[in-house]
Structures are given as structure tokens and as C-alpha cells.
Amino acid sequence: MSKFFMNERENLVNDAIEGVILTSPFRNLAKLDVDPAIRVVLRSDWEKKNVALISGGGSGHEPAHVGFVGKGMLTAAVCGEVFASPSVDAVLNAIVAVTGDAGCLLIVKNYTGDRLNFGLAAEKAKKMGYKVDVVMVSDDISLPDNKQPRGIAGTVLIHKIAGYAAEQGKSLDDVKAIAQAAIDATASIGVAMGGCTLPGDGDEPARIESGHVELGLGIHGEPGVSVLKTQNSKEIIGIMTQSLDRQLKGNAKLAVLVNNLGGVSPLEMSLLTRELSHSPLKSRITYLIGPAALVSALDMKGFSLSAIMLNEEIEQALLADVEVSGWQPLVKLEEVARHKMKKISGQVMAKPSSNKQVGSIVEIITQTLIALKSELDKLDAKVGDGDTGSTFSSGAKMISDLNKAGKLPLNSLSELFALVGDRLAVVMGGSSGVLMSIFFTAAGQKSSEGDSLAEALLFGLQQMKHYGGAEEGDRTMIDALEPALNALAQKGDLKSVAVAAQKGAEATAKMQKANAGRSSYLSSDTLRGIKDPGAAAVEHVFAQLAAKVQ
């Protein structure tokens, strides 16, 4: 089964090219209209006054190379099929379309197909009277004994530097010399956990063992040079940067491009960039480029690092503004800015005080919930995850222990509610603890403003509903708590409150649908005849209060 969004496989690249042109922020791209098999994107604002720059290759490496067409970088990009070099005719038509008297430089990644097809097109164009020259990018250092190093993500740096030179009106010979100097100053190395998914194909057979990565995996999925028995980001970055440091000998400052091969999450790319900033190479790094996908490999789970040695000319070229969608501006590597302040603790501190009646009520509530642990867990196991009793019991036990130790501010309801709210958020797990903390914290605030007990508790309920999202009728504890508190406000006696809570809890057993909590994922058949555990807890608490408080 293919894991690729597409309509018709044969039109995939053409359709994608149109999408890129449609979304170009500079509105400066056009598609060369010659033949559907010739896929060339060129600058729509090009006037053929300066040296033209053409690059390209197989598709699947986006934004390369179409994303680098525009003022200050490429004049045109020639797109082949996925991972296949464009034809000689496609390259030749691109040369003819954009080359004026100043000539044209082809920037070619060092792969056999690209070398041959771009090379033959260049020779044909010369025969037609065009001034054309070629540079081969060979920045991959992962295969040290390879006489033909591959061109990978460092190619983008060459686009940028040669593009700046061409924009300054330099001659073809000068642009080529500057591009070649940049190639000689550039090195890249990549690593991946696996290959990529080709359009229309199923999953690639896993070649790299779990927990391992392959160093030097090619941008078309070619096997790398070695397998590292680690996925530790620090270790991997350390190995890669040591290789770059050895290749780029000397003390020259560097700009380093952090390239996503397509399948690495932004979180991981940020982590890898941080590791780079703490690597053995850090003292040489002046600028970072990315992290971003610049030369990807479809959805390959991997990344590469491309470093270029800086001189005044290269640095100026890399920093120059461009009008392309794929380039990432350089960021100077500096220490992470830190804003220091003293830690603010939200913990509520209150001076203990005594009140026999309040202490008795606290004990009734907490002991009721502790005793209900098993019953509520069993009830919740039928409609949730089976932990309502344990959750309420853990919170109740902490408050009970504080009460018995004489550490509660029993003579001040506002302070008591605030302290209870603070402790429940710590002890009770999941959303229940936070909701009960909101309830008591908000009630404590209103109580401190002089509101009555009923008014304070109703305000706490209002805030619980506001943040929790549940209302009466959604099959939660609110179905028992809201009518109970309304009865407290209207009638003031605990027997009426207990009756209201009981009716509310019993109503939840008849509700066909839960609109909040884990029960919301269950069918009406599963819920039928079963009380909501939170509502049952509220029912029992008020029943005990009505029976025991005089």
C-alpha cells in the first residue's frame, strides 16, 4: 500500500511544480511551456543581462531545486522524475530559455546521471553558439575513498554563492571560479535511521536495525559507509562534526547548514541543532543555516550537516538577500539568552487555626471519600479507567492527615479552601485533581471577598465548568454538585442539599450519552443504568453530611 498523497503517478512532478509556483511568495516563477516531459521552472523576471545559473536533478529533494529559483540564486531549475536525472533535452531547453550574451553556468550534483545529461546538454548548447560552463558539487565526505564524492545538501550553498556573484554582474569565468572555490571549501555528511517511501511503492523493507543509524546514507537511499549502534543525538553529532573538522582543516570560521532529509520532526531538528552548538566544532561555527529541509529525500528519517569555510567574499554572498522561497537566512551562533528571575512558587501557605465544627465537617467529607475508594473504582471500571475512587481517596487522605495534625486554617474558610485547592492539585492525579483545585481555589477567592459559603462554592463550580467544559446534563459530577449547591443557596439545609445531590446522581444512570471525560467515548448501552462515579461521590458526601452534621 502506497503511503503517498497523489492523483496520477505520471503527473506527480508536473502537479507538484504547479503547486510550488502557485505559492511562491515573490510571484517570480514561471513554468517553461515546451513539452509536458520537459519540467523547467525559471524566473519570470529574468532579462538575460547577467550570467544565468541552472541546477536541477531528480525530484523528491524539495525545496531543491525549484525552491532556490529567484533573484540572487538560480535562474532556472530542471526537474527530473523522482530520483531520476532530467533528460538532455530538458536541460538543453532550459539553457536556451535563459541564456543571454553573458552565458550560463550549470551547477550539477556529482551523480552519474546528472553529470552525463547536464554535460551532454552543455556540449550541445555550445555547439549552438551559447556560452556554457559547468561545476560539479562533490561535498559528501562520508565515503572518504570514493573518487567521485556525491553532491548533497552543500549544493545549496553553491547556489547561493554563485547566485550572488552572478547578481553582481561578474563574468562567466569569474562566477565559475567563485563557485568552484565555494565547492572546495564545503563538506557535508549525513545520517539516517532508514530510507524513504517512493511514490506508488509500499513500505521499504527495514534495512537498518532498530536503535541504529547509518552514516553516509545517500539522498536516494543508497547504503552508507557504516552503521552506528546508537541513536543518541550527542554521540551522532560528535561523530559527524569530527569528520567535518578533519576535512575542513585549519581554523577558518564556518557556516553550518542543518538539513532535514524530510522525515525528522521539528522537535528533533531543534535538539540536533542544540547538540551542534555544544559539539567539538562549536568554536569554529559563526553562522547556522536552518534547521530546515533544503535538500530532502522524500520522507527519509535523517539529517545532514554541511559546513563551508568562510572568507569575506563567501560570507558576504551567504548574507545577501534573495527572492526565493527555499533559502534560510543565516543566524549568528551565540550563547542562549537567559532571563533570570526568582522561582515563583504557587504553593499556598496558611497559618493553622482551630474550629471544631469545620474540623468535624472536613473529617466527615474526607473519611467518606476514603471509605468509598473500592466502590467508586469498581463503578468507574464500568464506564472509565477505574481510578475515580483511588483519585478522590488520595486527595481526601492528604487533607485528613493535615486536619488530624492540626495544620489546616479551620477558622478561615477562604484560607482553608485556598489551601485545599493547592494540595489537591499536587496529590490527585489527572484532570480530576486540577478541576477540584480550580473549584476550591475559586471558592476561596470569593470567600475572601466576603461572599457567603453557598455563593463562594457556586462561583467555584462556575469556574470548574468554565475551564473543564462540562455542564449539567453531560454526565459528570456536576450533575450532582450543581443541584446540591443550588439547594444550599436557596434552602440552606443539608437534607435538601442531600436530596438534590441524590436526584442528580441518579439522573446520570439514565443519561444515554456522556459529553465529557472518558465516558464520552462509550456507547449508550455501556452507560445505561450506571451512575457517574464522580456524581456518586458527591451524593455520598452530602448524604453523610446531612446525617452527621447538626
Sign, CA dihedral 215-247-254-298, equals negative
Task: List all residues 6 or more positions away from 63 whose beta carbon is below 8 Å from its beta carbon.
Answer: 20, 293, 294, 296, 325, 326
For residue 300, what is the DSSP state? B
DSSP result, 347-399: ------B--HHHHHHHHHHHHHHHHTHHHHHHHHHHHSSS-HHHHHHHHHHHH
Q: Which residue in the block uniquely carries the three cell numbers 483511588?
A: 390
- DSSP assignments along 477-519, one per residue: THHHHHHHHHHHHHT--HHHHHHHHHHHHHHHTT-S---SSGG
Please, are residues 34 and 25 in contact by the beta-carbon 8 Å criterion?
no
Nearest to 7 by CA among 24, 21, 19, 22: 19
| DSSP string computed for 7-70 | S-GGGHHHHHHHHHHHT-TT--EEE--S-TT-EEEEETT--S-S-EEEEEEEESSTTTTGGGBS
* Adjacent-strand bridge partners of 259: 292, 304
Strand partners, 307: 187, 256
In which order are the strands placed within the sheet that holds 302-309? 226-228, 213-215, 186-192, 302-309, 254-260, 285-292, 331-332
Return the C-alpha cell found at 50. Answer: 547577467
Q: Which of 220, 339, 466, 540 is catalytic?
A: 220
Burial of 313 (0-12, 13-18, 19+ CB in 10 A): middle
* 212 in active site: no
Residue found by looking up cell 533535452 in the block:
89
Assess contact for 532 and 505: CB atoms under 8 A.
yes
User: In a 10 Å sphere around its CB, with 0-12 CB exposed, 13-18 middle and 19+ buried, how is residue 40 labelled?
Assistant: buried
Give the DSSP letter of residue 140. Answer: B
Is the link from the previous residue into 339 a cis peptide, with omega within 30 of 0?
no
Cell numbers representing residue 307 in the block: 559546513
Please tell me whether residue 163 adopts helix, strand or coil conformation: helix
- One-letter amino acid for residue 308 of the chain: I
Residues labelled as active-site residues: 220
